[in-house]
Amino acid sequence: MKLLDLFQSKAQVRLVEHLLQNQDKVFNQAGLARVLDVSPSTVARIAEPLVKCRVLMFERYEQGMKIFALNKEEPAARNLMDFYDKIRQL
C-alpha cells in the first residue's frame, strides 16, 4: 500500500479523517456523502482504493445500499488509528 492510495484528494482525506473520528461506527454511502458534502458517486470513487487496500470494509445490502466501516482487523487501519490518536495528542 502507498500513501497515495489513502490520500489521493482532499475529499478522500476528509473521508479517512471522518472514519478515524468515528472508529466504532458504520456508515452508508448517502450518509457519508451528506457529511462530506460530496455526491454519493464521489464517496464510491474515493472509497474504492481504501476498500482495495482493505483499510475500509464495504458491504452491499438490500436495495443496493452500500455500507462502509474501518477494517480494524487490518494492520494498516490499526496503524492509521494509532497515528491519528498520536497526532491528536500533539
- CATH number for 3-88 (one of 3.40.50.800, 3.40.50.1820, 2.30.30.830, 1.10.10.10): it is 1.10.10.10
Q: pLDDT by residue (tens digit) across 32-67?
A: 999 999 999 999 999 999 999 899 998 887 777 788
Phi and psi dihedrals of 27, rounded to 5? -125, 145
Identify whether the C-beta of residue 25 lies closer than 8 Å to the C-beta of residue 69.
Answer: yes
| Buried/exposed 48-86: b ≥16 CB within 10 Å, e otherwise | ebbeebebbbbeeeeeeebebbbbeebeebeebeeebee
DSSP state of 59: E
With a cut of 90, say whether residue 3 has pLDDT above it: no
**pTM of the model as a whole:** 0.84
**Sorting pLDDT into bands at 50, 70 and 90, what band is 7?**
confident
Q: Above pLDDT 70, what percent of the chain?
A: 94
What is the overall mean pLDDT for the chain?
Answer: 89
Compute CA distances 64 → 24, 28, 67, 70, whole Å.
23, 11, 10, 20
Which residue ranges make up each domain of the chain? 3-88
